Amino acid sequence: MTNCTALSTSLLSPVTTSLENLPARLGKRLWVTPAEFLQTTCAMQVAHWAVNLFPPSLPDSHRRGRKRRYSDESILLVAYIQSAWQMSYEMVVDYFRNHPEAAKQAGFEDGQVISVGQYWERRRARGLWVCWLFFVGMVWQWYRRNIMHGVDVVLDSTTLQAWYHRDPDAGWRFPQRWNGSLWGDKVHPVFCRWSELPIMFLVTPANFYDSLAAIPLLA
């Protein structure tokens, strides 16, 4: 309960930067740079909160070998920018290497940015829950900064093919009787219509009806 209180008070206290100080919106996509977005939303503080609530299982401190140089908070922030700007693993790492201000906001010291291979491994190793906590914290920040309104919303869905056929959470989807069958999952996101940013999402088997997913998402 103490950590939850910290989320709404000290860690997410208002900062001087507001949406009015950012460049005017010129298109549908995000209209600010990743560095401005990380600073405006206090992304590092939210990442620190999420990592503290769901800390990683670290190896023995007396174990030999190179110690981890990059923090889990930096991994979350790189994944945050990668998803928001729809970049590949190579593109997002190259972006931070070529933009020192963004790298500084993401917690990389002295311009030393993580490699593509290590970023891929560290991102997969952190698991789902810390990413979900970070997402919830960022949605709260977007709302508090008036980056999203959350009043007019759009409910959408998309299917994802399962990585392996024995996935217990997947299901068959048959859009047509003899064509287009898919074994996998379905993602049901709710978007803010004004900012086109996600508010919440639900992952179900691919054969789950969209109308049933709308009930918990819009409640």
Look up residue 86 and give its amino acid: Q
Confidence of residue 8 (pLDDT cuts 50, 70, 90): very low
C-alpha 66/C-alpha 60 separation (Å) is 12
| Whether pTM exceeds 0.75 | no
In tens, the pLDDT along 54-91 reads 887 655 555 555 556 789 999 999 999 998 888 999 99
Question: Can you give the pLDDT at residue 115?
Answer: 93
Kindly give the residue spans of alpha helices, DSSP state H, lying in 54-88: 72-84
Of 35, 97, 47, 109, residue with least CA distance to 72: 47
CA dist 98 and 188 (Å) reads: 35
Three-state secondary structure call for residue 115: coil
156 has pLDDT over 50: yes
The dihedral sign for the CA sequence 168, 190, 136, 120: positive
pLDDT per residue as tens digits for the range 11-40: 444 443 444 455 556 555 566 788 888 888
pLDDT confidence of residue 119: 94
- Asked if 77 and 38 touch (Cβ cutoff 8 Å), the reply is yes
Q: What is the pLDDT of residues 158-190, one digit of tens each?
A: 888 888 788 888 898 887 666 678 889 999 999
Confidence of residue 197 (pLDDT cuts 50, 70, 90): confident
Question: Distance of alpha carbon 73 from its chain centroid, rounded?
Answer: 12
Per-residue pLDDT reduced to its tens digit, 124-135 = 888 888 988 999
- Which pLDDT does position 14 carry in this prediction? 41
Structure confidence at residue 4 (pLDDT): 42
Q: What is the pLDDT at residue 22?
A: 56
Rg (CA), the chain: 19
